[in-house]
Structure 1
């Protein structure tokens, strides 16, 4: 894939892919998972742009993909910082006014913390720290140090070690165990589509149920058989659900 353009945000430059769409419709902003990047959406944002007619932007967070690297150790509030500092700056730079956020995993949690948006699609979001999720993250550590995960990540990230350890170490830090977004969900007043797999190694349906029970905007739940990437495991179902969800929105 050809090199993507870079844009300045607080902390460095991030790569982004900007898919054109109808300017009369609200744009989409895609927020990737903890080990993700623009490339690792595997064209999902292009398919949703085509299905909805909307402009779609996907970017790689600092330290991911071919965005600028960061050597700073992440703190438990790194998703809050992305939502309150980087995402607004990116939206201002790219003129994304009140976008629809489409987030996966850590990206879904960032979406839940972002304000001034028109709607959210959150897939496999994290709201609390569960033991099952920590076991999944520990399993990923073994896959990275002993298996083939590092080699696979090296095909998609400028520095797979920075990408992996920035994600893995903060989640397994004892200081992260009290991380809990539930008190902040009541600030969500826009429509939300929350999608969760029943066999997700990183979390249970408790996360999407917490969003349903606490957000003040309308929340639709879509619970599917499968694991952590419903948009890859059930692409047609998820794409249809997102398209239907967005249809009545401007």
Structure 2
């Protein structure tokens, strides 16, 4: 794989072509921040966050669009209700392999945070040294489901389809693959909180107080179940995307977390 952020770069993972981008040093030169996007996200929708994080941390940054999103191959609909678990357990490790990742921090937003959380709790992978979880979901909440239904109306009758179409080759697949799972009546009982019980790496959890898709109950679930070190950043006057809505505070906290992990690992090597 070429370490490049050239538009249209593709890697093949499990027979699917996935778009990706890279910033900063390659994996053999520095740790890597691996970015996992939200339920309607893609590489492009991280905007300048990857470049800023590479500059602030000295880490490489690797972002990719999951199948069904951005310029990646489409998926067959409907998605299974456990699609996040399948993505974590069946795909993410293969993506890390294909990208040549050696030591990394998984940084996920929304559904991407959930996928990172499940991976860290179910797959033994010594490459993963920490988690940054932005607006993670571990269970459904009525207000969050209402917000997703409202997004469905905006997609069908408003301009949401047009706005998303700038980022996704298959916008119907991208939207319905997310919306139709979350609004399925059977999904109301979905809960992956038990992933937290198995984490053994440091975690930074970030949440906006005004997030329409999830409340601070998601962060409290972490606090009540976690056995490993936890830092939290709760942002006032902030919704679902702290890295875009409050970039200074959010990126500074992420950078400090990553640099602290690196210092701790370097100290351990010296002691050894």
Range of TM-score over shorter length: over 0.9
Q: SS where residue 87 of structure 2 aligns?
A: helix
- Residue equivalent to 2:111: 106
TM-score (norm 1): 0.96
Residue by residue, what CA displacement relative to the aligned partner does 1:66-115 show, whole Å, maximum 9, x if unpaired?
00111232112111111111110011111112420111000000010113
Residue by residue, what CA displacement relative to the aligned partner does 1:171-222 show, whole Å, maximum 9, x if unpaired?
0011211111112211111110000011110010010111122122111111
- Residue equivalent to 2:14: 10
- Residue equivalent to 1:249: 261
- The structural deviation recorded for 1:2 is 5.6
For 1:107-146, what aligned pairs fall within 5 Å after superposition? 107-115=112-120, 116=125, 117-146=128-157
Q: Is the 2:6–2:21 contact (alpha carbons within 8 Å) kept by the matching residues of 1? A: no
For 1:1-250, what aligned pairs fall within 5 Å after superposition? 3-21=7-25, 23-115=28-120, 116=125, 117-225=128-236, 226-250=238-262
Q: SS where residue 261 of structure 2 aligns?
A: coil
- The structural deviation recorded for 1:25 is 3.3
Alpha-carbon RMSD? 1.4
Q: SS where residue 204 of structure 2 aligns?
A: strand
Q: Distance in 2 between matches of 1:4 and 1:187?
A: 36
Q: SS where residue 247 of structure 1 aligns?
A: helix
- The structural deviation recorded for 1:45 is 1.2
Q: SS where residue 86 of structure 2 aligns?
A: helix
Judge which range, 61-70 or 9-18, deviates more: 9-18
Runs of 4+ in 1 over 4 A off after TM superposition: none
Q: Distance in 2 between matches of 1:241 and 1:35?
A: 24
* Structure whose residues are more often helix by fraction: 2
Q: Is the 1:14–1:68 contact (alpha carbons within 8 Å) kept by the matching residues of 2? A: yes
Q: Distance in 1 between matches of 2:183 and 2:90?
A: 24
Q: Is the 1:10–1:85 contact (alpha carbons within 8 Å) kept by the matching residues of 2? A: no
Q: SS where residue 7 of structure 1 aligns?
A: strand
Q: Is the 2:24–2:51 contact (alpha carbons within 8 Å) kept by the matching residues of 1? A: no
Q: SS where residue 96 of structure 2 aligns?
A: helix
